[in-house]
Structure 1
Amino acid sequence: MAATPWDSSGAPPTIAPMLAVPGPLPVPDAEWAFEAKWDGARCVVSTPGDGSLRLTSRARNDVTPTYPELHALGDVLRGRSVVLDGEIVALDAAGRSDFGLLQRRMGIMNARRAARLALDFPAYLVVFDVMFLDGRPLTALAYEERRAVLSGVLSAGPHWSVPSYVRGHGAKAWETVERGGLEGVVAKRLSSPYTPGLRSPDWRKTKRVETLDVVIGGWTQRRGAPAGVPGAVLVGVDEPAGLRYAGSVGSGLSDQELGDLREYLKVLACPGSPFTGPVDVAGAHWVEPRLVAEVSASQWTAAGRLRHPVWQRLRPDLTRLD
Structure 2
Amino acid sequence: MSLPLIPPMLATSGTLPSAAQDARWAYETKQDGQRVVVYLPGDGSAVLRARSGEEISAAYPELLPLGGALGATPAVLDGEVLALDEQGRGDFQLLQSRMGLAHSPGRAARRAAEVPVHLVLFDVMHLGRHPLLALPYSRRRTRLEALGLDGPHWSTPAALVGHGAQALQATRERGLEGLVCKRLDSVYEPGVRSRAWIKIRNLRSEDVVVGGWLPGKGRLTGLPGAVLLGQRSEGRLRYVGGVGTGWSETEREQLAALLRAAATDVCPFDPVPPAPGAHWVVPRLVGEVRYSTRTRAGLLRQPSWSRLRPDLTPEESAADFPDGLV
**TM-score, length-scaled by structure 1:** 0.92
Cα deviation 1:206-240 (Å, max 9, x = unaligned): 11111111111111112246876311110012222
- Counterpart CA distance in 2 for 1:135 and 1:178 is 40
Say if 1:82 and 1:226 are closer, same or farther in 2 by CA, change over 3 A: closer
Which residue of the partner structure matches residue 13 of structure 2? Answer: 22
- Counterpart CA distance in 2 for 1:321 and 1:147 is 51
Q: Residue 179 of structure 1 aligns to which amino acid in structure 2?
A: E
Cα deviation 1:113-136 (Å, max 9, x = unaligned): 111121222221110001111111
Which residue of the partner structure matches residue 101 of structure 1? Answer: 94
- Counterpart CA distance in 1 for 2:115 and 2:222 is 42
Structure 1 runs not aligned, ≥5 long: 1-9
Q: Which moved more, 1:305-314 or 1:219-228?
A: 219-228
Report the RMSD for the aligned CA atoms in angstroms. 1.8
Displacement of 1:312 in angstroms is: 0.9
Which residue of the partner structure matches residue 6 of structure 1? Answer: none
**TM-score, length-scaled by structure 2:** 0.91
- Counterpart CA distance in 2 for 1:321 and 1:208 is 27
The answer as to whether partners of 2:210 and 2:230 remain within 8 angstroms in 1 is: yes
Q: Residue 216 of structure 2 aligns to which amino acid in structure 1?
A: R
Structure 2 runs not aligned, ≥5 long: 317-326
Cα deviation 1:270-299 (Å, max 9, x = unaligned): 222222223011111212221110111122
Say if 1:140 and 1:225 are closer, same or farther in 2 by CA, change over 3 A: closer
Which residue of the partner structure matches residue 78 of structure 2? Answer: 85
- Counterpart CA distance in 1 for 2:119 and 2:315 is 49
**3-state DSSP class of the match of 2:3?**
coil
Which residue of the partner structure matches residue 171 of structure 2? Answer: 177
- Counterpart CA distance in 1 for 2:137 and 2:221 is 54
The answer as to whether partners of 1:47 and 1:82 remain within 8 angstroms in 2 is: yes
- Does residue 226 of structure 2 align to residue 235 of structure 1? no
- Counterpart CA distance in 1 for 2:220 and 2:152 is 56
- Counterpart CA distance in 2 for 1:35 and 1:72 is 25
Displacement of 1:254 in angstroms is: 2.2
Cα deviation 1:37-91 (Å, max 9, x = unaligned): 1111110001111111100111110001111111111122332211100011222
Which residue of the partner structure matches residue 3 of structure 1? Answer: none
The answer as to whether partners of 1:228 and 1:266 remain within 8 angstroms in 2 is: no
Which residue of the partner structure matches residue 12 of structure 1? Answer: 3
Which residue of the partner structure matches residue 63 of structure 1? Answer: 56
**3-state DSSP class of the match of 1:316?**
coil
1:282 to 263, 276, 281: 276
Say if 1:64 and 1:251 are closer, same or farther in 2 by CA, change over 3 A: same
Cα deviation 1:157-181 (Å, max 9, x = unaligned): 2211111111100000001110111
Alignment of 1:115-130 (within 5 A): 115-130=109-124
**3-state DSSP class of the match of 1:26?**
coil
Alignment of 1:146-165 (within 5 A): 146-165=140-159
Identity of aligned residues (%): 49
